[in-house]
């Protein structure tokens, strides 16, 4: 089973005053992906400066396209993508 892991790191120096509003929209987007079955897991980073998303049943190009529509994407410092093969 193929998976795409996307690691989003936020630029904490760019956090706007309406950050909580952005978070609300972010949660709506990822909830939709979860309901559609393309987002398997979402982990918040311990440092509270980003998240790790595990996509399933899509390729890396589609994962990149989806990440670009996240409300937090403009606040990114970096995004890393890893193709994974789920063993169990």
Query: pLDDT at position 59, please?
Result: 95
The CATH number of whichever domain residue 18 belongs to comes to: 3.30.70.1060
Please check whether residue 21 is in contact with residue 6, taking contact to mean a CB–CB distance below 8 angstroms: no
Domain ranges, residue 63: 2-85
| pLDDT one digit per residue (tens) for the chain, 88 residues | 789 999 999 999 989 999 999 999 999 999 999 999 999 999 999 999 999 999 999 999 999 999 999 999 999 999 999 999 988 8
User: Which of 14, 28, 4 lies closest to 76 in space, CA to CA?
Assistant: 14
Cα-Cα-Cα-Cα dihedral sign, residues 31, 67, 86, 52: negative
Count of domains observed in the chain: 1
């Amino acid at each position: 089973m193929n998976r795409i892991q996307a690691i989003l790191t936020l630029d904490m120096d760019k956090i706007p005053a309406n950050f909580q509003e952005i978070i609300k929209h972010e949660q709506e987007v990822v909830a939709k992906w979860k309901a559609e079955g393309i987002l398997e897991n979402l982990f918040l980073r311990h440092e509270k400066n980003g998240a790790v998303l595990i996509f399933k049943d899509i390729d890396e190009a589609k994962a990149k396209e989806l990440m670009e529509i996240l409300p937090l994407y403009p606040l990114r410092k970096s995004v890393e993508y890893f193709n994974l093969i789920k063993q169990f």
